[in-house]
Structure 1
Amino acid sequence: MKRSSALLATATLASACGLAHAQADFYRRAIPPNVSEGGTVGAAVLVGSKYQGSDESRVRVLPSIDYQWSNGFFAGALNGVGYNASTQPDRAYGVRVTADFGRKERRSVALRGLGDIDARPELGAFFNVSPASGITLSSSLRYGSGNDRKGLVVDLGAGWSTPLSPSVRVGSTLATSWVNSDYMQDYFGIGADQALRSGYAQFAPSSGFRDVRLGASMVYRILPAWSVAGSVTYTELLGDARRSPIVRQKGSTSAVLALGYSF
């Protein structure tokens, strides 16, 4: 299942990108643990919300390429650019640079008057461990999002996967994200100037858990190097994010269909 495991990582990336915030949350190996070097390339159709809390859908087609070197360095759309210091197949830890892609005011009528949130690089660290076969506990920290570059996101998650046959693998994930008040203000708050321009009441959210996410995926190996994957993720907003004036829908579903090649 080397190739399908690699594509599963690519499909998970696509699922993360398909969420409204469009960020790579966890570090995921682009290649199976028993392979020292290699990568994946592919494309995915993503269906998700226009922004976090939107009730409007957005469809995108995105390419993806990731590579991992035998010395621990990696680069690509899935994980950003960084270094995995672990040489053990059941754990990963290190540092990386990822991207917060921001949000454009023109994306939705509901965002008019709020202005753009610029794309920013995020500095971060990660730690993953697999306590048993098919189970992975993941964590990551990312800092630098938002117009003031002060947004902090801490992601915690658990994943499970198992093969149903030599060609089919299924999996599920449960994850949550804690964010600081700077991040919350940028993405869910309404400042004084924004209130005047948009007509929304001022809203100053506090730090806290932003959401909880539950996902399911399936990967089918078409050929030794080619796989197709599908995933569905349900996201429920929490805390002050849930109470924001711009939130039209507290729970949302995103879906992904991806085709990938392992090399």
Structure 2
Amino acid sequence: MQRQTLRLLSSTASIVFSVLATQASAQMFNSVQLHAAAPGQSGGMLGVAALSTPEYQGSAKNRKLIVPVVDYQWANGWFAGGSNGLGYNFSGDPKFHYGVRMTGDIGRKEKRAKLLRGLGDIDAKPEIGAFFTFNPGADTYFASSVRYGAGNDNKGMLFDLSAGFTESWNRNLSAGASLGASYANDNYMQSFFGISQVQSARSSHKIYTPKAGLKNTYVSAFVSYMINDRTSLSLIVTSDRLAGDAKSSPLSEKTRTSSIVAAAAYHF
């Protein structure tokens, strides 16, 4: 029972992390964690989350949202949902997950903040990628992923590394933490942190051409409580820190931002 409860709590955490990431575009789809069902079985979860998260990467202001969350994985290796995207896990070993997937970058609207006026919108784009996750135990993971296709020219690429753990205090209450970092190529950095000559002429910003490199690091902590065998409540706090040329961008009002998520989920 403790292992089942821990799996459900890990599932809740991964879903809520993805909700936060999807809205903040900071850690979006940074890893694949297949905890929605036990190995060799199908299962999923439905939920709702309330969050406070930056208006865009580097924004000093937060916005508040209420969003649905959904995730499902099949016994044959396919999975789909807000936490992991749409993909296929080739591994039958619960300690190793590796495969391919399709995700999405939500882009950025210039109307979201005054600092973005004149820069134009970055349209939402599909991404293709691959992932590898190592689970040495039911309560720890090390993950990596690569995603390609974001940005104005569809050539933005992100490489993500992360690690995390969950500690079960009793059969109902668990807590955990994760940390990670993202590397971005020139195309991604230019789309989200750069200022082109055209954008400079339309805005008050000087031309800025960031280079490929470390984009951000983050650390998150969560606590989850199982109301019953299928229903959980979770609270997650994340601190994200921009790095390299992303930190020096004229669009980055704050180097370090924080987000809070409260979620309720039903597992089936």
CA distance in 1, matches of 2:118, 2:59: 16
Deviation at 1:254, TM superposition (A): 0.7
CA distance in 2, matches of 1:230, 1:15: 11
- Counterpart contact for 2:26–2:240, Cα < 8 Å: no
CA distance in 1, matches of 2:224, 2:157: 32
Equivalent residue for 1:111, pick from 88, 109, 116:
116
1:212 aligns with 2:223: no
CA distance in 1, matches of 2:43, 2:37: 9
Q: Which amino acid aligns with 1:158?
A: A
> Counterpart of 2:163?
158
User: What is the DSSP-based 3-state SS (H/G/I as helix, E as strand, rest coil) of the residue aligned with 1:6?
Assistant: helix
> Counterpart of 1:191?
196
Q: Which amino acid aligns with 2:96?
A: R
> Counterpart of 1:84?
89
Alignment gaps of 5+ in structure 2 = none
CA distance in 1, matches of 2:234, 2:22: 14
Map 1:34-113 onto structure 2 (within 5 A): 34=39, 36-113=41-118
User: What is the DSSP-based 3-state SS (H/G/I as helix, E as strand, rest coil) of the residue aligned with 1:186?
Assistant: helix
> Counterpart of 1:245?
250
CA distance in 2, matches of 1:133, 1:79: 18
- Counterpart contact for 1:23–1:101, Cα < 8 Å: no
CA distance in 2, matches of 1:114, 1:210: 20
Structure 1 vs Structure 2 CA RMSD? 1.3
- Counterpart contact for 2:37–2:43, Cα < 8 Å: no
Q: Which amino acid aligns with 2:193?
A: F
CA distance in 1, matches of 2:16, 2:239: 16
Equivalent residue for 1:260, pick from 245, 250, 265:
265
Deviation at 1:23, TM superposition (A): 2.1
Paired positions, count: 263
CA distance in 2, matches of 1:258, 1:18: 14
CA distance in 1, matches of 2:106, 2:27: 7
CA distance in 1, matches of 2:168, 2:135: 17
Equivalent residue for 2:141, pick from 107, 121, 136:
136
CA distance in 1, matches of 2:124, 2:135: 33
Q: Which amino acid aligns with 2:10?
A: S
CA separation of 1:3 and 1:20: change in aligned 2, threshold 3 A:
closer
Q: Which amino acid aligns with 2:102?
A: V
TM-score normalised per structure 1: 0.96
CA distance in 2, matches of 1:95, 1:73: 10
Deviation at 1:33, TM superposition (A): 4.0
- Counterpart contact for 1:18–1:254, Cα < 8 Å: no
Q: Which amino acid aligns with 2:173?
A: V
User: What is the DSSP-based 3-state SS (H/G/I as helix, E as strand, rest coil) of the residue aligned with 1:125?
Assistant: strand
> Counterpart of 1:25?
30
| Larger CA deviation: 84-93 vs 6-15 | 6-15
TM-score normalised per structure 2: 0.94
Deviation at 1:97, TM superposition (A): 0.2
